[in-house]
Amino acid sequence: MSPLLDIDEVEHRYRDVVALGPVDLQVDAGEFLVIVGPSGSGKSTLLRLVAGFERPTTGSVTLAGRPPRPGRDVGLVFQQPRLFPWHTVNGNITAALRWAGVPRAERPAAAASLLAKVGLGDLGKRRVWEISGGQQQRVAIARALAARPRLLLLDEPFAALDALTRERLQEDVRGLTDTEGQAAVFVTHSVDEAVFLATRIIVLSDRPGRILLDLPVDLPRTGVPAAELRGWAEYAALRGEVATAVRAIQPS
Ligand code: ADP
């Protein structure tokens, strides 16, 4: 079976700067891929290529067999929620549903279901400034899911949140790809976040980013409480392996 996402021998340059590659990477439906790498290693460039905002200088990127269409084929979540401040929570989700082509009559039920999915069931009528940063990021995730994308791209989405809020969001996001065959590509600087969320971790080198480590993570996705899982010996061993790879990166 062909992969959902196929990054085939991709290199990307900005004028004379080689930002990324060559990178060869395939992601299947259901995978939760986490990318770890130093600043400037091309992580955002990789996400922009997958979102269709950039075309690779060499090689090809295909999603379900076609070049990704910008703003259409993937759901995007950034470090800042980037919500419409003049809309309510519901208004933000409804705007995304409209953009995704969901018929008007179906939008209220679809919005309610998305908000329930991210744990915000009763906050639909609130204004964006009336909810916390963590809740705003939940709205951003619900909005990214509105078009039912096969692939969700998350670029350091929890970096600006406090530790407790971050852990709660990690626990909720971890389950997102377990249903409906969606896949996620998630960028982080946190080794611990990578091990907790991933079914597979990629460590990128310094610029131009190349794959230094491609590590499957075989921790249970359901049935073990998060706090317990974080204390497992296998969890610590994976964290150690990724941290060692990250520490070994030589600045270019
Ligand atoms: P990361 O997300 O890992 O920090 P980026 O993908 O943002 O890395 O950047 C990779 C490299 O490409 C960096 O050296 C950066 O300076 C360079 N770069 C990124 N975007 C541009 C651009 N639009 N024009 C020129 N250089 C860029």
Predicted pLDDT at 176: 76
The domain boundary residue, chosen from 147, 162, 186:
147
pLDDT tens string 63-93: 999 999 987 889 999 989 999 998 999 999 9
Considering the domain architecture, whether residues 45 and 95 belong to the same structural domain is answered as no
**Global pTM exceeds 0.85:** yes
> Is the four-CA dihedral 203, 207, 209, 211 of positive or negative sign?
negative
Looking at 101, 119, 147, the residue that finishes a domain is 147
What residues are in contact with ligand 1 under a 6 Å CB criterion?
A: 14, 17, 19, 37, 39-45, 207
Residue of 20, 35, 44 best suited for mutating to test ligand 1, as the one with most atoms within 8 Å of CB: 44
Same structural domain for residues 55 and 88? no
Domain, as residue range, for 59:
5-73+149-247
Q: What is the pLDDT of residue 117?
A: 87
Identify whether 89 is part of a domain.
yes
Same domain for 220 and 164, yes or no, is yes
Q: For residue 178, name the pLDDT band (cuts at 50, 70, 90).
A: low
User: Of 147, 169, 198, which marks where a domain is finished?
Assistant: 147
Q: Are residues 94 and 217 in the same domain?
A: no
Average pLDDT for 11-21: 93
> Which residue from 73, 113, 108, 74 is spatially nearest to 91, judged by alpha carbons?
108
Residue nearest to atom 7 of ligand 1 (CA): 44
Of 182, 13, 161, nearest to 79 by C-alpha is 161
* CA atoms of 238 and 165, how far apart (whole Å): 23
CA 178/CA 222 separation, integer angstroms: 9
CA of 146 to the centre of ligand 1 (A): 29
As a whole number of angstroms, the distance between CA 80 and CA 210 comes to: 27
Q: Is the pLDDT of residue 181 over 80?
A: no
108 inside domain: yes
Distance 13 CA to ligand 1 centre (A): 9
Into how many domains does the chain fold?
2
Q: 16 and 131 in one domain? A: no
pLDDT at residue number 134: 92
Q: Please indicate, yes or no, whether residues 65 and 153 belong to a single structural domain of this protein.
A: yes
Q: Examine the domain organization and report whether 60 and 89 are in the same domain.
A: no
CATH number of the domain that 41 lies in? Answer: 3.40.50.300
The protein residue with its alpha carbon nearest to ligand 1, atom 15, reads: 40
On whether residue 162 sits in a domain, the answer given is yes
Cβ atoms within 10 Å, residue 101: 8
Q: In whole angstroms, give the CA distance from residue 150 to residue 30.
A: 9
